[in-house]
Structure 1
Amino acid sequence: MKLVGMLDSPFVRRTFITARMLGIPFEHQSLSVFRNFAEFHAINPLVKAPTLVFDDGEVMVDSSQIIAWLEHSAAPGKSLWPLDPGRYRRCLQLTSLGLAAAEKSVHRVYETKVRPKECRDPDWLERVDGQIRDTYGLLEAHVGTSDWLCGDYPTQADITVAVAWRFTHFIAPGLVADSDYPGLAALSAAAEALPAFSAAHYS
């Protein structure tokens, strides 16, 4: 089984970290959807990261669907979701907010790094920046007194939120200050110290 994509993608990284935390063996092939388009296209014509390539050559895309399959089929009996219904709902809610922050941060990359400078829309960029800040504001309000977002151990919510936070800092330094979101900053530091996160380091 092979995971294809660059670790500076929050969606590739959350998938990589999830597989590591579940103890699932896999190969990682670091290909860029931009710089390695032809090579990526030969693996998956969609050229979408992450792509999971099964041993029979079939492919799957979308980090959430890949993660669902990993838990259900590759690591039965293991889960990064709480069993308690209330905590499960909270975990889904915070994971969805983390995904939103990551998605809006990717939009910012496309607007500032991919789109030609003369075609950029400052009003759109202002809107996206506001959505990023507001999403992290919602997440900050949900940080409790526990070490992790949904209890005493890291869940998919912690993975996704911490990955999104690191990505936003990487692509837009200064957009969200640690001092304005101290709970998220502390969560990120704790998550990045985990072996699975260290294995997925990028710079």
Structure 2
Amino acid sequence: MKLVGMLDSPYVRRVAISLDLYGVDFEHLPLSVFSTFKEFSKINPVVKAPTLVLDDSTTLMDSSLILDYFEHLAPAEKKLLPQSPAARAHDLQLLGLALAASEKTVQIVYEHKLRPSEKLHEPWIERVTGQLLAAYSALEKQLANPPSEPLTQATLTAAVVWSFTQHMLPDAINTEAFPNLQRNADLAEQHSAFRKYSIE
């Protein structure tokens, strides 16, 4: 089984950490959708990270779809999402906010790194930044009372995404305004799975 993509992608990293927690053996192929596009395209012509190639050569894409597959296979003691409808809806709410923050961070990074400076559209950047702050503000409130299990899919994804934003946009967010998000990330980053699949 092969996980394809760079760990500086929050989507690749959340899958790698989750597979480790599920106890799934896999090989990580650190291919970039930019610098190793041709090599990546030989594995998946769509060149979407993360890509997971199962042992039977089935190719899965999109971090949430990949994790849905393994959450279904995981034994009860290794599942990362709660089973009761109310608790699951709560965690899915957190996941939606974290993934929205990830998406908005990526959009801002791409806007600055891929678009010529003379073509930057400031109203768009302001809008996306506002959405990013809204997602993190909502997450901050939700994490005021952290769960007893620190590494659920919701809390680990929130930690991965928060670390990603801090790494890629260090001046975009005032970390002091989000103590709950910072505490959650600090706790998660101490876990062996996070250290094993570090962003750097």
Q: TM-score, with normalisation over the residues of structure 1?
A: 0.94
Q: Percent same amino acid among aligned pairs?
A: 46
Q: Kindly state the Cα deviation for residue 114 of structure 1 after the two structures are TM-superposed.
A: 1.2
Query: Partner residue of 2:53?
Result: 53
Q: TM-score, with normalisation over the residues of structure 2?
A: 0.95
Q: What are structure 2's unaligned runs of at least 5 residues?
A: none
Measure, in 1, the Cα distance between the counterparts of 2:56 and 2:83.
32
Q: 1:20-169, aligned counterparts within 5 Å?
A: 20-73=20-73, 75-77=74-76, 78-146=78-146, 148=147, 151-169=148-166
Stretches of 4+ moved more than 4 A in 1?
none
Deviations 1:84-107 (A, max 9, x none): 332211101001100000011111
Q: Give the number of equivalent residue pairs.
A: 199
Question: In the alignment, is residue 202 of structure 1 matched against residue 189 of structure 2?
Answer: no
Measure, in 1, the Cα distance between the counterparts of 2:164 and 2:18.
16
Query: Partner residue of 1:190?
Result: 187
Question: In the alignment, is residue 6 of structure 1 matched against residue 16 of structure 2?
Answer: no
Measure, in 2, the Cα distance between the counterparts of 1:152 and 1:33.
34
1:35 is paired with a residue of what secondary structure? coil
Measure, in 2, the Cα distance between the counterparts of 1:76 and 1:49.
26
Measure, in 1, the Cα distance between the counterparts of 2:137 and 2:60.
33
Note the aligned Cα RMSD (angstroms): 1.2
Conservation of the 8 A alpha-carbon contact between 2:150 and 2:188: no
Measure, in 2, the Cα distance between the counterparts of 1:16 and 1:172.
22
1:106 is paired with a residue of what secondary structure? helix
Q: What are structure 1's unaligned runs of at least 5 residues?
A: none
Measure, in 2, the Cα distance between the counterparts of 1:152 and 1:9.
25
Amino acid paired to 1:109: V
Measure, in 2, the Cα distance between the counterparts of 1:202 and 1:43.
23
Measure, in 2, the Cα distance between the counterparts of 1:145 and 1:126.
30
1:28 is paired with a residue of what secondary structure? strand
Measure, in 2, the Cα distance between the counterparts of 1:84 and 1:144.
21
Measure, in 1, the Cα distance between the counterparts of 2:21 and 2:61.
20
2:8 is paired with a residue of what secondary structure? coil
Measure, in 2, the Cα distance between the counterparts of 1:110 and 1:152.
34
Conservation of the 8 A alpha-carbon contact between 2:71 and 2:81: no
Question: In the alignment, is residue 180 of structure 1 matched against residue 177 of structure 2?
Answer: yes
Q: Kindly state the Cα deviation for residue 159 of structure 1 after the two structures are TM-superposed.
A: 1.2
1:46 is paired with a residue of what secondary structure? coil
